[in-house]
């Protein structure tokens, strides 16, 4: 009997957990540009208005169904290519060139935020949580560098397990077996899994390393709605932070983007220092990301035999099973504004 056979949320490409998901890089969307984005199966037209604000609208025009990303940005709104209906940032039609009063229709507009050089989109109209962040840097100004963009042939939940699978650090990444990962729920959406083992003192090297830690070897992962995770590691005097922003792509694959993050430091020296820190963090992130490539090309995740050491993974799965999901890919959903009335009546 598999521990994951009956899961309703974990490792299910047909379920979308409520939350923020990365959509594209901020620099891929200049002022006045619009792009078609398929976000986990939902077609969106994402544009940056002349005011610099990014807006994400459901893609299909309520007139005849043209994809709005074929259109053009008009001020802080978007005009459909086909008959030039104009949509405001809230998705409502504000202008129809051929008649004085536009029909009271529109498309859904999704909450958007920009952070770490990425555009994030929320899967419900009212976000109940902020964009994922590094717990110890929450509320602080940060510097970020975008790392790799990657795909893996398995679900994002499975990729994210990797960061707390302490056995594989030894077997795949050739690291000593020194971690004891313990799960600590933070709130409904977040779960932190951190090492609880003190630094071992079994050799001269470890005794030297232990000088840089008051007690535990700092290594932790904070999960945000099971699709984004932030890893924190390093000695007490300096912590490195790597974010893995993931989402499902076509066929249930993972579309990921790593982000290297550090706290903002002022002045030209601070700027330079942060560049070095972020590049070092990138090397660490790449080391961990590359070691597992083979397994994520072929794995058919099925947790048939969890061991005691796998307990934090079971906690992560349990945490995900409690996450609320949203009907993200149901195209038959009612739009936010009144739809044109019955059938073939003109409005
Ligand atoms: S299809 Fe968009 S305005 Fe006609
Ligand atoms: Fe790994």
CA-to-CA separations, 52 to 48, 89, 124, 125, 283, in angstroms, rounded? 6, 12, 23, 21, 33
The predicted structure's pLDDT at residue 258: 95
Q: Is 34 helix (H, G, I), strand (E, B) or coil?
A: strand
* pLDDT digit string, tens, across residues 116-135: 999 999 999 999 999 999 99
Burial class (CB in 10 A: 0-12, 13-18, 19+), 179: buried
Nearest CA, atom 1, ligand 1:
64
Count the neighbouring beta carbons within 10 Å of the beta carbon of residue 75: 14
The predicted structure's pLDDT at residue 338: 47
The predicted structure's pLDDT at residue 335: 46
Rank 151-160, 165-174, 179-188 by mean pLDDT and report only the highest.
151-160
Count the neighbouring beta carbons within 10 Å of the beta carbon of residue 205: 9
Q: What is the mean pLDDT of residues 265-273?
A: 94
Ligand nearest to the CA of 79: 1
- pTM confidence score: 0.93
Euclidean distance between CA atoms 148 and 143, whole angstroms: 17
Q: Name all domains of the chain by residue range, CATH numbers in brackets.
A: 20-122 (2.102.10.10), 135-326 (3.90.380.10)
Nearest residue to 9 via CA among 301, 154, 226: 226
Among 71, 83, 97, 107, say which to mutate for ligand 1: greatest number of ligand atoms within 8 Å of CB.
83
Q: Is the CB of 85 under 6 A from ligand 1?
A: yes
CA-to-CA separations, 208 to 180, 198, 200, 202, 235, in angstroms, rounded? 20, 14, 10, 11, 12
CA-to-CA separations, 8 to 11, 17, 186, 240, 321, in angstroms, rounded? 8, 11, 22, 34, 6
Nearest CA, atom 4, ligand 1:
83
> What distance, in Å, lies between the first and last C-alpha atoms of the chain?
57
* pLDDT digit string, tens, across residues 329-342: 865 444 445 455 45
Residue 20: strand pairing partners = 122
Q: Is the CB of 83 under 6 A from ligand 1?
A: yes
Ligand nearest to the CA of 160: 2
Q: Ion ligand 2 — residues with CB under 5 Å?
A: 162, 292
Across the chain, mean pLDDT equals 91
Contact yes or no for 296/154 (Cβ under 8 A): yes
The predicted structure's pLDDT at residue 136: 94
Contact yes or no for 183/316 (Cβ under 8 A): yes
Contact yes or no for 225/115 (Cβ under 8 A): no
* pLDDT digit string, tens, across residues 48-59: 999 999 999 999
Tokens of 55: 């807006």
Atom nearest to 83 CA in ligand 1: 3
Q: Is 114 helix (H, G, I), strand (E, B) or coil?
A: strand
């Amino acid at each position: 009997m598999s521990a994951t056979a009956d899961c309703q949320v974990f490792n299910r490409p047909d379920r979308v957990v409520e939350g923020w998901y990365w959509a594209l890089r901020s620099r891929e969307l200049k002022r006045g540009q619009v792009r078609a984005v398929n976000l986990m199966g939902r077609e969106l037209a994402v544009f940056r208005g002349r005011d610099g604000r990014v807006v994400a609208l459901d893609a299909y025009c309520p007139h005849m169904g043209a994809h709005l990303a074929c259109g053009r940005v008009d001020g802080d709104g978007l005009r459909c290519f086909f008959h030039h209906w104009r949509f405001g940032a809230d998705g409502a039609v504000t202008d129809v060139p051929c008649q004085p009063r536009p029909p009271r229709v529109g498309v859904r507009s999704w909450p958007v935020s920009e952070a770490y050089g990425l555009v994030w989109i929320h899967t419900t109209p009212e976000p109940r949580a902020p964009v994922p962040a590094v717990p110890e840097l929450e509320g602080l100004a940060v510097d970020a560098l975008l790392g790799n963009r990657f795909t893996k042939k398995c679900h994002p939940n499975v990729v994210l397990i990797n960061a707390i699978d302490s056995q594989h650090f030894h077997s795949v990444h050739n690291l000593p077996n020194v971690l004891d990962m313990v799960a600590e729920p933070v709130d409904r959406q977040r779960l932190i899994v951190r090492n609880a083992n003190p630094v071992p003192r079994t050799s001269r090297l470890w005794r030297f390393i232990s000088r840089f830690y008051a007690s535990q070897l700092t290594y932790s992962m904070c999960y945000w709605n099971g699709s984004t995770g932030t890893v924190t590691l390093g000695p007490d005097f300096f912590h490195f932070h790597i974010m893995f922003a993931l989402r499902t792509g076509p066929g249930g694959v993972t579309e990921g983007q790593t982000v290297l993050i550090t706290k903002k430091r002022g002045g030209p020296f601070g700027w330079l220092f942060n560049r070095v820190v972020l590049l070092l963090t990138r090397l660490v992130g790449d080391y961990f990301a590359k070691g597992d490539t083979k397994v994520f090309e072929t794995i058919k995740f099925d947790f048939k035999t969890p061991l005691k050491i796998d307990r934090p993974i079971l906690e992560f799965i349990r945490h995900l099973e409690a996450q609320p999901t949203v009907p993200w890919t149901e195209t038959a959903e009612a739009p936010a504004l009144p739809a044109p009335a019955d059938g073939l009546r003109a409005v």
